Amino acid sequence: MATTVYTVEGMTCGHCVSSVSEEVGQVPGVTGVEVDLASGALTVTSSTAVDDAAVRAAVEEAGYAVKG
């Protein structure tokens, strides 16, 4: 199992967290998504390596940006 942590910028409420979780959860290979509103931390778990660009694109699709 692989775990990757990203920092999402621009989230301000629970709806933001839900949007990011939903979009990232649809990335092929993702088995779990945890989002911390206070820190902006996005923890993605998967059974195999997940395409970093796909995760970043999913966050952007939700309307936010990945820092770094």
Over residues 15-44, the pLDDT tens digits come to: 999 999 999 999 999 999 999 999 999 999
What integer pLDDT is reported at residue 40 of this predicted model? 97
Closest CA to 42 of 27, 12, 64, 20: 20
What integer pLDDT is reported at residue 49 of this predicted model? 87
Angle between helices 14-25 and 52-61 (to 10 degrees): 140
Share of the chain above pLDDT 90, in %: 93
Of residues 49 and 43, more confidence is placed in 43
Could you tell me the pLDDT band of residue 68, with boundaries at 50, 70 and 90? confident
Topology at the third CATH level for domain 2-66: Alpha-Beta Plaits (3.30.70)
Contact 61, 2 (CB under 8 A): no
Query: What is the DSSP annotation of 18-30?
Result: HHHHHHHHTSTTE
Q: Which residues contact 5 (CB under 8 A, 6 or more apart)?
A: 41, 42, 43, 44
Domain residue limits, the chain: 2-66
